[in-house]
Amino acid sequence: MRRLHPDPEQIRLDGVLSALGNPVRLGVVRALTGGAERTCNSVLAELGITAKSTMTHHWRVLRENGVIWQVPSGRETLVSLRRDDLDARYPGLLDAVLTGIGVDETAS
């Protein structure tokens, strides 16, 4: 059985870059930069996506490449950015991506 989330040492740079190479997935990263866990539905609402099925593939790509955590919680799924793991594995990468997409983390 395939693990849903890779261990930190299994996160590969090519996978992270591939996962971040899509505007929708970059929007997810932007939405999660505050650091708090959020429901998948709240992220969808922020991105203006109404069809949950549209996001199934994007959630999987982000999760399997070590960019996000997804944790079931009752009838919802909570999602958060794997900031600590990404920073430990590839220092400065996430900061560069966030700067590139215009996220000012000092405002959070």
Rounded Cα distance, 66 and 33, in Å: 15
pLDDT digits (tens, 9 = 90+) for 18-67: 999 999 999 999 999 988 999 999 999 999 988 888 799 999 999 999 99
Q: What is the pTM of this model?
A: 0.87
Find, among 86, 90, 108, the residue nearest to 31 by Cα.
Answer: 108
Phi, psi of 84 (to 5 degrees): -60, -45
DSSP letter at 5 equals S
pLDDT digits (tens, 9 = 90+) for 95-106: 999 888 776 665
Which domains does the chain carry? 8-99 (1.10.10.10)
